[in-house]
Amino acid sequence: MVVASAPAKVILFGEHFVVYGEPAIAIAIDKRAYAEATLRKDKLIYINSVNLGVSGFFKGRHFQPEKDKATLDKLVPIKNSVTKVLGKANETIGVNLDIQSDIPASAGLGSSAAVAVSTTAAVGYLVGVKLSKEDVFEIALDAERLIHGTPSGIDPAISTYGGAIIFQKGKDFKPLDVKLSIPLVVGNTNLERSTGELVAAVRRMRDYYPSIVGEIIKIGGEIALRAIEALKRGDLKVLGELLNINHALLSVIGVSNEALDHLIYAARNSGACGAKLTGGGGGGCIIALTEDSRIKKVIAAIERAGGTAFQARKTDEGVRVEP
């Protein structure tokens, strides 16, 4: 038996603006997905996702669900990671895979990428194939393509390498050396949303008001650059102010909503240094930069406002095989 894990992520600055070439900053947080892999005596691949409540067997391309056929789409990306690793090992063996996760699903926190990364590492270690972190990233990115079509790669990169990264379209991911632990409260609206639809809506607005929205996008990029300096200095006050400004810009381009704003203002009014939506918007999660002494108060305020909340911190550790 082998267990591997990989972290979730939050985008601190730059979502949506990154589509137009501006920088974005993402960090790994200390919520993890765990994949437990064991060998089977037959050649079947069995996958059980505890959090999603779905499970089933794969024999080649044939799928037999344990509960209902609707589970296929949710398990195929995980199976894809397993078969990619077995292909590298030149093995045709059976594997049991049990997935458990601390990461809320469909909340913009990179849950599917963390599962793909942890699965890849666990199966690789199980069958004795040496995978570099670049190998793990590439296999997980391939799984993400089955879910998101044309993902940026930021989610599997963070889950694989951990820490903080700067991402800019057309450029390689760049590690960001940050000593600050970045104390956060993550608030979840528990509302589902379509990132693709939101990205398309922003593009329509930009096409209709190019001179206005174009300037907003540039300002978003300037905020990310200033945030990099504040992160290096460990300046929570400036970071909080920049989070607030960034959220205001995201509201202007139409990707926030009443549910997100309700949680954001609850967090700010209870003492957070700053707060904004994280990810695509339209639902999902907010992040609130919060000094340690106020974390419990901010969590309580978000929950009173109708969300669910938890404390999170940056983690420098990416994928790992558990002892």
Active site residues: 155
Q: Among residues 287, 177, 286, 279, which one has the least CA distance to residue 234? A: 177
Tokens for 236, please give them.
Answer: 């929570």
Q: Among residues 141, 150, 143, 178, which one has the least CA distance to residue 162? A: 178
For residue 288, give Cα distances in angstroms to 7, 167, 177, 182, 260.
Answer: 19, 21, 21, 10, 12
Q: Which residues pair with 48 in a beta bridge?
A: 55, 98
Give 317's DSSP letter: -
How many Cα atoms occupy the beta-carbon half-sphere of 75 within 13 Å?
30
Q: Among residues 158, 146, 199, which one has the least CA distance to residue 8? A: 158
Which string of DSSP letters, residue by residue, matches 208-244?
HSHHHHHHHHHHHHHHHHHHHHHHHHT-HHHHHHHHH
Interacting residues of 185 by C-beta distance below 8 A, sequence separation 6+: 267, 272, 287, 288, 290, 295, 298, 299, 302, 309, 310, 311, 312
Q: Which helix (H) or strand (E) holds 55?
A: strand 54-59
Contact 56, 194 (CB under 8 A): no
Q: Amino acid letter at 287?
A: I
The CA distance from 298 to 150, in Å, is: 36
